[in-house]
Amino acid sequence: MMFLFRASSAAAVVFFAAFFFSWNTSSARLTEDERLLQYEKRGYEWPIKAFKPNTDGWNALMNERLNQVSEIDDETERYKGYVTTLFPALVVSNLTEYGWAMTRISDDLLNQLQQGIRDGFDDKQEEGRTPIIEGNQAWWIERDDLMDMVEDELHGPLEEWCGTDLSLTKVYGLRLFRNESSFRMHIDKKGSHSVGYVLHVASSEDTKPWPFFIEDFHGRTHEINLTPGDVIMFEAGKLMHGRPRTLNGSWYSNVVGHYYPNNEEWVSMEHQREAEYAVPPHWVQPAPFEKKFNRLELRGGLKEPDCVDGWCRSDSKTTVKWNGPGDFGSWLDPAGGKHKFHSRNSEFSMEL
């Protein structure tokens, strides 16, 4: 969270920020002059010539989002918008070509997870307030033993797909989303939640399909209807994702896994601070009175309040639509390519 204050002098703008990093809760104070020195030291410039990755679609998508950010009237929210957008767009590099892929868990693990819901449903807990969830808040069934099984089965394939060693942050579940709720589009926590997966376990008999939306590194938006057992692996710290449509049904259950690259460069990076260093000097300029882009809100994830579902591309003819099931033992990329897993320590290496 950041707290921005204008100095009494018109010649200077000073802000004080409480920086919350991925592995600690240290704080620091920084003047705008100090921040701009780091901006220049890193060679940032405006307009940005190329994002990471440097594809036509990703460049166009990031430029459009930055234009939306520039039209946010509230100064604090506008600053947060630049930080939220520039970290995945410019600060950190991608690990894969497209950013996400679909696969599937084993039938045995799926059966045990579904039994876990049946066994624990009557003792489910209120998860508590999550700002990114609109409407009814989620339920939670605590089964650490099952989460360990998910981690054992998916860690190897996730590393193989993204091409790097990963350290586990957390596997979380069993989470049950409730009727009339939605999950705002968002990017996961900087640093500790850079790569992950979402695993669909089950839903109530009265639940209608509840698509997962995700962007890719070529600027496309994908709408994915998962079947129980399907897994989306994705670069959660770079790609906007969520379920902006309202859930129609009693409940829908997921498990999510969060990981980060196991290397010194990543672990030693102060991710929040690096994101702030990338913010251009003109962030302090008032937003234009005449708006040209879809309105963007940043409270509790991202929302385009003037569009259907609060996300304009959820209702776009250009959205790419997918349906499960995925394939156990291989992963499907957004271009339709199928790739067999060879993870040595995973059931995904079995010959099917």
| pLDDT digits 0-9 by tens, 249-291 | 999 999 999 999 999 999 999 999 999 999 999 999 999 999 9
User: How much is the pTM?
Assistant: 0.90
Predicted local confidence at residue 28, as pLDDT: 62
Predicted local confidence at residue 346, as pLDDT: 42
CA-closest candidate to residue 259, choices 332, 161, 131, 128: 161
Tell me the HSE value of 342 on the side-chain side, using a 13 A CA sphere. 2
Predicted local confidence at residue 242, as pLDDT: 98
DSSP string, 221-239: EEEEEPPTTEEEEE-TTTS
- Residue 347 clears pLDDT 70, i.e. is over it: no
159, 343 contact by CB (below 8 A): yes
pLDDT top residue among 316 and 119:
119
Tell me the two tokens of residue 187. 């990017």
Predicted local confidence at residue 307, as pLDDT: 96
- pLDDT by residue (tens digit) across 51-109? 999 999 999 999 999 999 999 999 999 999 999 999 999 999 999 999 999 999 999 99
Predicted local confidence at residue 20, as pLDDT: 29
Q: Which residue segments constitute the domains of the chain, with CATH numbers given?
A: 2-95+270-284 (no CATH), 100-267+306-349 (2.60.120.620)
- Compute the average pLDDT of residues 326-349: 80
Tell me the two tokens of residue 266. 């990543």
- pLDDT by residue (tens digit) across 210-237? 999 999 999 999 999 999 999 999 999 9
- pLDDT by residue (tens digit) across 237-257? 999 999 999 999 999 999 999
CA dihedral angle for residue 115, residue 332, residue 242, residue 302, rounded to 10 degrees: 160
Q: Which residues pair with 224 in a beta bridge?
A: 212, 322
- Residue 325 clears pLDDT 50, i.e. is over it: yes
- Compute the average pLDDT of residues 185-213: 97
243, 210 contact by CB (below 8 A): yes
φ, ψ dihedrals at 68, nearest 5°: -60, -45
Predicted local confidence at residue 214, as pLDDT: 98
